[in-house]
Amino acid sequence: MTVRRDFKEPARCRPDLVIGRDELFTAARDQLTRGGSVLLHGPAGIGKSTVLRALAADYGEAARTVLRCSATESESHLPFLALADLFGLVLDEISDKLPVAQRTALESALTGRGESTLQRDGLALRLAVLSALRALAAAGPVLLVADDLQWLDSASAELLGFAARRLGDTPVQLLCAVRTEEQEYDRHLRASPPDTLAVRLNPLSRAQVSALLDHRGYTDLPRSTMREIHRTSGGNPLFALELGRALGESPTPPRPGEPLPVPTSLRALVLSRLDMLSDEARRTLLVASAGARPTLALLHAAGRENAEAETAQAAALGLLATEPEGPAVRFAHPLISAALYAEAPAQERRAAHAALSTAASDPIERARNLALATTGTDPEVAARLAEAAALARDRGAPSVAASLGLLAARHTPPDGAPAPDDRRLQAAEDAITAGEVDLARDIAREVLTRATVPAERIRAWEVVIEAAGQSLGEVDAVFPQALADAGDDPRLLALVHYRLAWRKLIVEGDFAEAREEAAHTADLAARGDDRRTELMALSFQASTETLMGHPNAPTTIKRALREPQDPYVACHHNGVGAARFRWLLMSDQLPEARSTITALLREVRRRGMVESEVHFQRFLAETELRSGHCGRALDLARESLRLARDSGIGLGASAMLASLAEASGGDVDRALALAREAAGKAEEDGDQMYVSRALAALGHARLVAGDAAGAVGSLRRVRELEQGLGITDPARGRWQGDLAEALVRVGEPGEAQDVIDVTREHALRLGRESVLAVLDRAEALVRAARGDHEAALSRLTSVQDRLAKLGYGLEEARAAFALAMLHTGRPGPTSYDEASRLFRRCRALPWLRQVDAAIAAAAPETVAVPPQTAPPSDALEGLASMERQVAALVMEGATNREIAARLFISVKTVEATLTRVYRKLGIRSRVDIVRLAAGRHAK
């Protein structure tokens, strides 16, 4: 029975919950399932009530009775109010089950009739609440749901705490939420049952805030704005939603450098204590809110003589949290600073910025404050802002450079030199570097509405195309316009044709055409004396040739490495350094590949090149994965995925690599989900190049999960796609060995051998030693499936040694595992120790679990195998090759597990094969096979 249903949250709340709350929700749900209680705690607006209601809706059906109360501050002085909420609707059900004195005291407290008080009827009331809960629990489990415990009236809180501490094994659980700061939940925990789990709700990440706002319909906010919402809200979902709503209702977005508009509702919430400050202290806090990194010294330099006393006063009121060991002045929450600034009149804000424009020691900070203190155009201010933007760019802060560049454009006169749009385009390019593609695209589109100079227009078109990322199909209409703007200028044409080369690869999936377009671009750029574009085109050509197994790849890489070089191209994710890395990785030069990508990653982080950082972190993860460092690869892949989600860049590629890392060193279910996400993203973007990579990851995850048939389905499609794309280098995706192994497991050794033969031809031509070793491992499984065990064992031993020498630790371990599996069921001891040791060294947890399962399957059964005699051929006439092998092993007395191990197929495949054997031989069971064999021998 459930009472007070009006407190139940509708199902629409669940999507909000899963954003950033998956793990804590699962932990709380598991605790309730075990029969325990849960106390949710955290600051105001953090989402406690949402989680509480969702948990109650999710778990409440398991309870017979659900009692609910939700206290408010305005009613906290009314005694027994929460008690009335909880027991008011069940009083009739339990009153006759209570002793008279307890019933009288409880009815008096709940109805308000009489003069029941804790002082007069304390013991009777305490026992009555305990007895009431026990009476309800006698009919079935009870769940007590209480929100906002901090506002519970003191009498109800005392009675519930008394009962909670004495429930013992009574099936009564508490699900409560309380507003706290830091660790103030202790006193509420002491009033809860002893088995209560305290769960603190922490702030959401930037990506989670973005997902929350998207879910609520605020989908058009630029990423730069989303970053500000996250910073200002401190990850608090209520604050973030209010800020998003205010932005959605605002007719004009905030200008560069200005804080977000803070709605009145939030101002009232965080500035309720502001009226207790003196006017001078309030002015001091305004200066602090206008500064990027306020300190007491900065406030003094800005003319706030009594900064120490005034900040101490603010700290006492909870507005500031001054550092005990340093001079920094820190607001207790970022929203306080934003609300204080939003509340101040424009004239006072400009005065604060004017003071900081001379007081700040950093030239970037001085220029920013000067701009915000100045109205209208001013060439001198614009020049200082442009210089500050260049300084920020050199410091590796392109996001700051973009903001300063837009301020410079705003203060540049229309006839200034450089022109305002020149500075806007530079800001757009900085925004691209910083990963703020929405902002960059908006700037470029605005410039295109008025630009007439071809060079300016091509520069803007480049930003629009770059901002599209992998979704180049969405900007198809741009290319004819850009070509028309370029005219016959080889320099401008080279810029457009470089983008067309990428379109050939991503949208059309044509490697050969993409290579030709890149070569054409390099020639155009050379004629136009544009060395940067020439190098980018050569790097793209080299990468394409590497991936498609073209023999010219080494020569093109050498051309791209010739001097003069360009520092930007050298470290760009599509530049020559990345092209060389791909060649090293595919050529089995793992140590050099690692050192190359590590140096590149270090440089792009120094420069603040977010997109390149996403890709290089993924490349490093891939290198570690191939080296068998699964734990390290998993950490890097997860960080790359987090950065991709946060920036909106390279999400499909990062999800693909994270899937491979999870399948090797993490969680297989998560690997499957990530591979599906990557495939969906690639399909959505129309990215032909990454659809096959994502499907290869899905096939690998399915193989690790034991779904050989699913793996075959995914990897067959990969084979078809890559044949159509013209990709012949098997080192690109390295899925061929997985496909062959999966085919063996489903009883298709012939197709597996065909995959091996075709792939081996290309691997031999290109000298891909590690691919050849993996193919030999797969071929050993084919031979074992065909009954040639000795050759299979010999081949696997050789493969393991070769992979060890090449440094492919995980593949080496897989060879050792296959070797142990083939030994299972054969005369002599079988040991998985070597496979376990190698997988443990790699931290390959999913594979270790497979080894444990194999050991468990082999250990309990010891079957006496009679001397083997070849089964009579006429008994198995009409059976396929795999069916004959399975039937022959059944005749020898082998179990299904032993057959699976000896033929290196799954138990399910054995069972399916036996079903076909029974049907073809007209029998019903494996016993009939043995009888059939015995009958044939008797003749």
Query: Pairing between strand 142-147 and 172-179?
Result: parallel
Report the chain's terminal Cα–Cα distance, integer Å.
74
**Residue 526: predicted pLDDT:** 96
Angle between helices 490-506 and 511-527 (to 10 degrees): 170
Q: Which of 453, 543, 467 is nearest to 729 (CA)?
A: 543
Helices marked H in 528-589 = 531-548, 553-560, 567-571, 576-586
pTM (predicted TM-score) = 0.73
**Residue 826: predicted pLDDT:** 52
Query: Per this entry, what is the length of the chain?
Result: 939
C-alpha 762/C-alpha 784 separation (Å) is: 25
**Residue 182: predicted pLDDT:** 58
Question: What residue ranges of the chain have pLDDT lower than 70?
Answer: 1-18, 112-121, 182-185, 255-258, 322-326, 824-830, 858-878, 881, 892-893, 901-904, 927, 930-939
Q: Per-residue pLDDT tens for 31-88?
A: 998 889 999 998 888 888 888 988 988 887 888 899 998 888 877 778 888 888 888 8
Q: Per-residue pLDDT tens for 329-371?
A: 888 888 888 888 888 898 999 999 999 999 999 999 999 999 9
Residues 6 or more apart whose CB falls under 8 angstroms from that of 427 comprise: 389, 401, 402, 403, 404, 405, 406, 408, 409, 443
Residues 6 or more apart whose CB falls under 8 angstroms from that of 717 comprise: 695
**Residue 865: predicted pLDDT:** 36
Amino acid at 719: R
**Residue 645: predicted pLDDT:** 84
